[in-house]
Amino acid sequence: MMPETLPSPIAWRLRLLAALVAAACAAVAPSAATAQQVVAVVNGELITAYDIEQRTKLIQLSNPKPPPRQQVLEELIEEKVKLSVIKRWVMEVSDKEVDSSYARMARGMRMSPVQLTEILAKQGISASTLKSRIKADIIWTGIVRSKFQASMQVSEKDVRTALDTRPKDDKTAVGFEYTLRPILFIVPRGSPEGVIEGRKKEAEALRARFESCEEGVAVARMMRDVAVKPTVHRNSADLAPALRDILDAVPIGKLTSPEVTAQGIELFALCAKKATTSDTPAQRQVREEMMQEKFKTFSKRFLKEMRSAAMIEYKQ
C-alpha cells in the first residue's frame, strides 16, 4: 500500500533498547534495587549494584561481550542526569508517537510489538514502563533540538558539497515527483475471506484493463462500491526505497498491485512521473545524516554541561 502520509525514518539501536529496558527493570523492582549496595547518587537518585547487573545483562542481548562495569555505571549516571533535566521541561508527547517508537524498536529486533511485549512480560517488565522510558528519550531529543535549533540547521551548500563525495552512479541522485490517484474497492469490516478474495479479483481485473488515468478512473467510478480518492503528489525523497521501487516498476497510466487495507482493497494509479534534481532521495539522506551528526554533537555538549552541574557522588 502507498500511504498518503509517510513517517520520516528514525534509527533505533538495539543498545538503546537494552538501555531502556534495563531502566524499566529498575523501575519495576525497587525493592530488589534498594536492597543492593548503592554505587552512586545522582541529584539524590540512587544507582545500585542491581541496576548495573541488569544493565550489563541486557546490553549483552545485542553484544555478547560484557561491557566494562565502569562504562555501564557512567551510562546510568548520564541517564539520571537526563531525567533531572527533563523534569524542568513541560513537553507533550502523544501516545501515538510513543507507540510508533515502540513498534520501530520491535522491528529493529525482528519482532512485532506484541512479541516484544510478551518478552518483556516474561522478564517481569510491563510495556507501559518501557514506554515511559521511550517517552523520556523523545522529550530529551525535543529539548536538545529546541535549545540548539539555529545551530543544527544544514545549508544546501553543505549538502551539495557532501554529495560531491558520493558515487556518481547513485540511483538516488535523481528524484521523481509522482502524481497518484488512489482507488479503493470497499470491503466492510468483518467480511469473510471469500468476500475479500472476490474484491481482490475485481481489482486485478480493473488493473488488467487500466490503460490511462483519464479513461481508467472513469471506469472505476462506475464500479460497485469503488471509491476514487483525490489526486495525491509524492516526492521520491519522501518514500522508503521499497515504495520507490514499486512506483518505478509501474508504467505511467497503470495501477500498482492491489493491497489489503483497513477499508478494503487499494490500488494507486500512476498518472504522471516527473524527474527532479531538487530534494532527491540522496539529498534527503545526506541532509538527515548531517543533522543527526549535529544532534549528537550538541546532545553530548548539553549533557556534559548538565553533568558538570549535577550532584554526583560515587560510593565505591
Neighbours of 5 (CB within 10 A): 7
- What is the per-residue DSSP string for 176-237? EEEEEEEEEEE--TT--HHHHHHHHHHHHHHHHH---HHHHHHHHHTSTTEEEPPPEEEEGG
Q: What is the pLDDT of residue 287?
A: 80
Q: What does residue 256 show for φ and ψ, rounded to 5 degrees?
A: -75, 170
Give the contacts of 12 (CB within 8 A, at least 6 positions apart).
101, 104, 105, 108
**First vs last Cα of the chain: how many Å apart?**
56
**For residue range 107-131, what is the model confidence (pLDDT) as tens digits?**
877 888 898 888 878 766 678 767 8
DSSP 8-state code for residue 251: P
Q: What share of the chain is helix, strand, coil (3-state, %, to 5)?
A: 55, 15, 30
**For residue range 306-316, what is the model confidence (pLDDT) as tens digits?**
999 999 999 86
Residue 20 clears pLDDT 50, i.e. is over it: no
The class that CATH gives domain 175-276 is: alpha beta
Grid cell of 76 as nine digits: 546510568
The answer to whether residues 257 and 213 touch, using CB atoms and an 8 Å cutoff, is: no
CA distance 54 to 129: 15
Taking the domains of the chain in order of start, what are their residue ranges? 14-150+303-314, 175-276
The answer to whether residues 48 and 34 touch, using CB atoms and an 8 Å cutoff, is: yes
Residue 18 clears pLDDT 50, i.e. is over it: no
Cell 490511462 maps to which residue? Answer: 212
Neighbours of 144 (CB within 10 A): 21
**For residue range 131-189, what is the model confidence (pLDDT) as tens digits?**
877 888 888 888 898 888 888 888 878 777 877 777 665 545 677 889 999 999 999 98
49-59 and 14-28 are packed helices; what angle lies between their axes, rounded to 10 degrees?
A: 150
Please, what is the average pLDDT of the chain?
Answer: 81
Kindly report the CA angle at 120 between 129 and 77, in degrees rounded to 5?
Answer: 55
Mean pLDDT lowest among 47-51, 65-69, 126-130, 201-205: 126-130
How would you write 18-75 as a 3-class SS string? HHHHHHHHHHHCHHHHHCCCEEEEECCEEEEHHHHHHHHHHHCCCCCCCCCHHHHHHH
Is 14-150+303-314 a CATH 1.10.4030.10 domain?
yes
| Confidence grade of residue 32 (pLDDT, cut at 50, 70, 90) | very low
127-147 and 95-108 are packed helices; what angle lies between their axes, rounded to 10 degrees?
A: 110
